[in-house]
Amino acid sequence: MSTLVIIPTYNERENVASIVGRVRTSTPDVFVLVVDDSSPDGTGDIADALAAADDHVLVLHRAGKEGLGAAYREGMRWGLDAGYDRIVEMDADGSHRPEELHRLLEASESADVVLGSRWVPGGGVENWPASRQFLSRGGSMYSRILLGVPVRDVTGGYRAFTAAALERIHFEDVESQGYCFQIDMLRRAFDAGLRIVEVPITFVEREHGASKMTTGIVVEAMVRVTGWGITGLPRRFRRRPEPADPVETTVGL
């Protein structure tokens, strides 16, 4: 399948060349789309130089900073219009290791949505304080309980979707930003009955630049997940027993 890896950027001049180069080295057949929100630090110019030197690197310039969700939505629509069969989400800061991308791609040969998971056997994190791990695990647990989605890593952002899956979940209607965007996409995929698979990854804390995590992102996720959980209660009680749901974990890839 033809694959497009979307990498949203905002002030990632220290990371963009490295992450794009690692993707191209580890998976030479894929195409990379850098979606830059007019970074004032010149990230977009670096991306343009990478694209000029490599026909598998493309750049989409946006007018300004509108958030992770908006960047992914525009990149996904671009990729679908261009005819790609499979679209991957990847962070620009190196926390999603391109060397593990093959795990997601292999699993997506027989799945609609593949999640790179930190919280399944074989997965993990590096250089995270206990407080950050607690926040991530707690957010996934809270979302899993309220939404009834039997996935270990609900908030992770290293994912692969087939083109058909994206169209079925109406991704362009997702208004959430930040980590809430990932939760929203996943709940839609689950409600649509898509086949979801988790594969283990190791998440590595960024070495350069500043994290985009803010209190507002956390609050948005809490508010929206709580609202979805309450309004979705009748549907959850009508849902089939969990063992019949199309979610599984693939380890050892």
Between the alpha carbon of residue 31 and those of residues 48, 82, 130, 233, the distances in Å are 14, 12, 36, 40
DSSP 241: P
Round to whole Å and give the CA distance between 135 and 236. Answer: 25
Q: What's residue 246's pLDDT?
A: 41
Structural domain boundaries, residue 135? 3-249
Q: What's residue 211's pLDDT?
A: 60
The pTM of the full predicted model, rounded to 2 decimals, is: 0.86
- Residues composing the chain: 253
Q: What's the CATH number where 104 sits?
A: 3.90.550.10
Round to whole Å and give the CA distance between 191 and 186. Answer: 9
Q: What's residue 228's pLDDT?
A: 66
Question: What are the helix (H) ranges across the chain?
Answer: 16-26, 43-53, 68-81, 101-107, 130-147, 163-168, 178-191, 215-231, 233-238
3-class DSSP assignment, residue 6: strand
- For the chain, residues with pLDDT lower than 70 are 206-221, 225, 228, 232-253
Domain count along the chain: 1
Cα dihedral 117→121→125→126 (10° resolution): -140
Cα dihedral 14→161→241→144 (10° resolution): 20
Which stretch of DSSP H or E encloses residue 57?
strand 57-61
CA 241 to chain CA centroid, Å, is 27
